[in-house]
Amino acid sequence: MDKFMEIAIRGGLLLLLVVAVLHTLDRQGEFVSRTDFLWKAKLKVEQEEVETMRGINKILLENILPAHVAQHFLKKEVTKDLYHESYSSVGVMFASIPNYKEFYDETDVNKQGLECLRLLNEIICDFDKLLLKPKFSGIEKIKTIGSTYMIASGLRPGKEEGAFKNNEAVSEE
């Protein structure tokens, strides 16, 4: 009977050891699964942030560069080359409101300057609408800085020299 008790105790201890090991493995598997889930969730958030920043950068780049130049820098492959192109005939125009800084006033009459900014926004939007018309398709908005509006004509990528003069002459209306 003594031998039977010793085997039963050893068997019980072995069974307890097996249960403890299985429980530890289960907890470890649970911990790894939770950690993996949290890492994947964090990765998803970070990827969404990257995509958002990529979209913002694309909009900003397209806003400050001509469309064909922005596309050069937005290509998927990494390029270390700077963009350059040679044109024989290019025109640049700066339209500015003289003394805008003196006109801009942050008083209660101008709603803390909002009326001045609204007027400036209207003028810039009118210029932008004009550039959408087909007869101004050869003109590219370069940038707006404060009250200065900058555009250029003659930046026709991929067009042969003189093609704009011969085939795409703009009629004045």
Q: How far apart are CA 94 and CA 149, in angstroms?
A: 6
Q: How far apart are CA 58 and CA 71, in angstroms?
A: 9
152 neighbors 91 (Cβ within 8 angstroms): yes
Specify which residues 148 forms β-bridges with: 96, 145
Per-residue pLDDT tens digits of the chain, which is 173 residues long = 688 888 889 899 999 999 999 999 999 999 999 999 999 999 999 999 999 998 998 888 877 777 777 887 777 676 677 777 777 888 888 888 777 766 665 665 556 667 777 777 888 888 888 888 988 878 877 777 777 888 888 876 655 444 444 334 443 33
Ranges of each domain in the chain: 1-64, 81-167
159 neighbors 87 (Cβ within 8 angstroms): no
- pLDDT (0 to 100) of residue 164: 41
CATH homologous superfamily for the domain 81-167? Nucleotide cyclase, GGDEF domain (3.30.70.1230)
- pLDDT (0 to 100) of residue 105: 57
DSSP 4: H
Q: Is the dihedral of CA 107, 113, 116, 122 positive or negative?
A: negative
DSSP 151: E
Please state whether beta strands 139-145 and 148-153 pair in parallel, antiparallel, or not at all (unpaired): antiparallel
Rounded to two decimals, the pTM is: 0.46
CA neighbor of 163 nearest in space, from 138, 141, 140, 131: 138
- pLDDT (0 to 100) of residue 111: 62
Q: Is the dihedral of CA 168, 169, 172, 173 positive or negative?
A: negative
Q: How far apart are CA 66 and CA 151, in angstroms?
A: 10
- pLDDT (0 to 100) of residue 13: 93
If one counts every other C-beta atom within 10 angstroms of the C-beta of residue 84, the result is 6
The letter for the amino acid at 156 is R
- pLDDT (0 to 100) of residue 82: 76
Neighbour order of strands in the sheet with 148-153:
91-96, 148-153, 139-145
Specify which residues 140 forms β-bridges with: 152
- pLDDT (0 to 100) of residue 33: 95
